[in-house]
Amino acid sequence: MPDPRVLIAYFSRTGTTRVTAMTLEAMLDVDGEAMFQYADRSGPFGYLRPLIELVNRRPVSIVPTKYDTASYDLVIVGTPVWARSVSSPIRAYLAANASRLPLVAVFWSYRSPGARRAKAGEAVDMQVGLHDFFQNQAGRSPPRGGTSA
């Protein structure tokens, strides 16, 4: 039986999620793909823009990706937590690939000082948010295997 094909797809504004994704890529010896957005996220407005996007559920434009998710057995998605939600670039990636996603696993990162005190409820909020995303965007349940933290 051949080894499963795994892709790690992630977005990182500050580098925290990138470090985790690249560590996983090296440990698992799998493909990795960073999401890039056309909008500038530097400076003070760079911190405010995600909140505006999340509150308004505004779609964002991401640079086209290199890998086809349908050619993988597992896609591991990495996202920073923005206002207790999935980052808008990852939301755009999931929306663009919803019908082609295989088994999905999710990891997320916090960089805020309160991250160590993050409650388990926030993890549940993220899972519920991802489930709701798939229900609303794809009109179906999450991909085979659902989502996990």
Instruction: Measure the CA angle with vertex 97, ends 42 and 29; round to 5°.
Output: 80
d(CA 85, CA 5): 28
- Is the Cβ–Cβ distance between 88 and 54 less than 8 Å? yes
Distance from the Cα of residue 35 to its chain's centroid: 9
Among 108, 119, 106, 121, CA closest to 82: 108
What mean pLDDT is reported for the chain? 76
**In the Cβ-directed half-sphere of 40, how many Cα atoms lie within 13 Å?**
4
| The two structure tokens encoding residue 50 | 């995600």
Q: Tell the residue number behind the tokens 């996603």, with chain if given.
A: 101
Q: What is the pLDDT of residues 55-107, one digit of tens each?
A: 776 668 889 999 999 999 999 999 888 766 788 888 889 888 888 888 888 88
Element (H, E) at 105: strand 103-109
- Domains of the chain (ranges; CATH) run 6-138 (3.40.50.360)
> For the whole model, what pTM was predicted?
0.73
d(CA 15, CA 8): 15
Q: 31-35, 77-81, 90-94, 141-145: which has the highest mean pLDDT?
A: 31-35
- Look at the alpha carbons of 64, 65, 66, 70 in this order and tell me if their dihedral is positive or negative: negative
